[in-house]
Structure 1
Amino acid sequence: MPNVDNKSEATNVMKPAYRLLAELEAAFDDIIERVEALEARYRESPGAAWALHSPTPDADWLRAALLDFWYQDGQDGRATRSYVGLVAADEPLLEHVASVNAAKAHFADILARIRQEAAALIPELKAVLPFRHPALHTHLRGQGLARLHLKQCWRALPVADASLSRVRLAWYSSGRSIKKLSVRDAEKKLLTLDHEAPHIRIQLQRLAGIPDGEPLAQVQKQAPLMRANLFFREPLADGRLRRAMNVALPLFIPSDDGRLPDHNTPPPFPNDKRTRARRSDERLEDEVFLPSLRVYRYKG
């Protein structure tokens, strides 16, 4: 009988978690339905469009861009794919964009609760959600794709605040982000890995050989971003005439006549050469100190 009680208690504990999963499934369905409604509206009444990597940014291209929610095999879990483009949007299309973004925000809110209250369910939901839409799942298998990419589900569609006179697009590379770590912080991070593995033990020994008060630097290489500089026809309510924003998805621009504002054509890929001055990373040693954490010591 005690085993039955324990099983019942565990079931009761999991019920709220599975209710959250059911909420997330419904929110995912809502995103799909609203994206499909947006695509149908654009197919019915298309405005002008431009895309960085497509000569034909039509309704099919837009659908593929907005429903790309998957990891490719071998894709870095921190990376997301970009679909840089501009779409002239009338008022009904902008209403669909707002509807999609509201659904994405709701999905993100539920996902945040799951991460906080039932993180163990996340691998399950990545596997379960694609099966809810057979056409998407067939695409998933046919394109050599892997599991659901949650960030690509909830990232918002960019929208200009008002009509624009011009747009200037440029690649932005911020290089590397550098986060200071204490020796104790680095030790805790290493211990969350397989600390019985020989290469982790070696790094723990290295760490034990430096002063406890020595600051360390964890370095993360940041992927280049496309930055759009928007120039408004009229000042916004706060007086601004321009705004800069990152655009990983097509930028929807209010347009009464279905035309795009003047815009440039940036190179298809960022320049690999470093163009920004070296900053605090000059103070780091050239050789990584803790490879598993990308942690460096400071010089001197």
Structure 2
Amino acid sequence: MPDSQLAPLTMTFEAMSLALVNYHQLLKTSTLPLWLPLSEFEHQSALSMQDKACALTTDIWHSGDGDGRMTQNCHGLIGANVELIAAATKLNFCKDAFRQALADLKDKDPKNINLSLRARSQKLARILRREGLSRLHLKQCYRHIPILAQGCLKVQFSWYSSGRSIKKISIEESFQKLLKLSQSSNHVQIQMNKLSNLRPGTALAQVQTQVPIMRVNAIWASEENSTGDSQWLRKARNAPLPLLVPLQEGEPLPSFNQPLLQPPKSRLRALRSDSLIEPTPLLPSLRVHCYRQ
């Protein structure tokens, strides 16, 4: 691929790198309060919350041969002055520009693109003292630093462990998916027989349990209503990274709870009695369920 075609990609990566370094330096030297949960190992190794925040929010590399679809997540709160918020806003803008430049080129010459980005990624890693990293983690490159538009009174964190994606699937589509599995397996034949016994047109649903996510609720007090009662404004969002909260020097973080670093192993919510989907799958191998009659 000619250098002229790679130019938008390399330019946007360089801009993102400069923005990343600037944000890292400002966060590293900030004197405003912050909170991130630390693991037992992090406590034992005397890792500070500030160092963890710096590493987490500027991490755009694979740390090993892990699944590229997985990201390093941690909730928390970071007190931010005007300068740090401006740096985070610019970094988010640069992330979007890099993502678009890569999307424009990714189908043309992926090998050449990877070689070009690897050299620049290694240079950036050395600047941020992140040794031994070479491959960019695109999902971590793209994700934004979350910023609260204005200070709030209270922040409520909560694990959301009950999410499911539900997709309708036909009997024929289910047959075709089962045919791709080993036909010598007894459990596959049993599921084929179950499908054969269904009435034509029976509605089926393929259910995927989603990975637990941390949600954060920011809460403000609004003007009192006619009865003199305070009204509360809430804004919820996912919190894969610590939330930047606007603060003035000497101002504390808003009131907040401190949930566990890892999600609970058991489901937090009971299954709804009015669910339209049978709880037991008809086809376990495909996570396919029947709709209740």
Is this a same-fold pair by TM over 0.5? yes
The sequence identity of aligned pairs, in percent, is 33
Return the alpha-carbon distance in structure 2 between the equivalents of residues 108 and 200 of structure 1.
45
Q: 1:78 aligns with which of 65, 69, 78?
A: 69
Shift of 1:130: 3.2
Amino acid in the other structure paired with 1:206: M
Which digits, 9 at most, give the CA deviation of each residue in 1:156-192, with x for residues without a partner?
111111011221212121342221122455567789x
Aligned AA for 1:277? A
Equivalent in the alignment of 2:148: 160
Residue 221 of structure 1, CA deviation: 1.9
Partner of 1:62: 53
In the other structure, the counterpart of 2:136 is: 148
Amino acid at match of 1:269: Q
1:174 counterpart SS class: coil
**Structure 1 length-normalised TM:** 0.72
How many residues are treated as equivalent by the alignment?
269
**Residue 169 of structure 1: SS of its match in structure 2?**
strand
Aligned residue in 2 for 1:50: 35
SS in 2 for 1:142: coil
Show CA shifts across 1:224-255 (max 9, x none).
111111123667xxx97321111111210001
CA distance in 1, matches of 2:82, 2:281: 54
Q: Which residue of 1 aligns with 2:15?
A: 30
* SS of structure 1 residue aligned to 2:10: helix
Q: Distance in 2 between matches of 1:153 and 1:47?
A: 26
SS of alignment partner, residue 91 of structure 2: helix
TM-score (norm 2): 0.74
Shift of 1:199: 5.6
Aligned residue in 1 for 2:84: 93
Would you say the 8 A contact 1:130–1:136 is kept in 2?
Answer: no
Match of 1:219, SS?
A: strand
Change (3 A) 1:247 1:299: same
Shift of 1:294: 4.0
Stretch deviating more after TM superposition (125-134 or 90-99): 125-134
Deviations along 1:66-120, whole A, 9 cap, x unmatched? Answer: 22223454644433220222111111111101101111222233344456xx2x7
Aligned equivalent of 1:271 = 264
The 5-angstrom pairing of residues 107-146 of structure 1 reads 107-114=98-105, 118=107, 121=109, 125=113, 128-135=116-123, 142=132
Counterpart of 2:214 in structure 1 is 226
CA distance in 1, matches of 2:184, 2:14: 43
Return the alpha-carbon distance in structure 2 between the equivalents of residues 85 and 94 of structure 1.
16
Distance 2:7 2:177 in 1: 33
Letter matched to residue 25 of structure 2: A
What letter corresponds to residue 192 of structure 2 in structure 1? R
Which stretch of the first structure deviates more once superposed, 99-108 or 247-256?
Answer: 99-108
Which residue does 2:25 correspond to in 1? 40
Q: Does 1:169 align with 2:154?
A: no
Residues of 2 paired with 1:164 and 1:64: CA distance? 26
Distance 1:176 1:137, change over 3 A: same
Counterpart amino acid of 1:38? Y
Opposite residue 51 of structure 1, the aligned amino acid is: L
Q: Determine the C-alpha separation between the residues in 1 that align with 2:66 and 2:216.
A: 26
Q: Which of these residues, 281, 284, 288, is aligned with residue 286 of structure 1?
A: 281
1:149 positional shift: 2.4
1:298 deviation in Å? 4.8
Q: Is the 8 A contact 2:71 2:139 kept in 1?
A: yes
**Partner in structure 1 of residue 228 of structure 2:** none
* Residue ranges of structure 2 left out of the alignment (5+ in a row): 224-230
Further displaced range: 150-159 or 130-139: 130-139
Moved more, 47-56 or 72-81: 72-81
Name the one with the larger helix percent: 1
Question: Residues 24 and 186 from structure 1, CA distance in 2 versus in 1: closer, same or farther, beyond 3 angstroms?
Answer: farther
Shift of 1:131: 2.6
Structure 1 partner of 2:235: 243
Structure 1, unpaired ranges of 5+: 1-13
Alpha-carbon RMSD across the aligned residues, in angstroms, is: 3.8
Residues 29, 62 of structure 1: alpha-carbon distance in 2 compared, 3 angstrom cutoff: farther
1:256 aligned to which of 248, 251, 273: 248
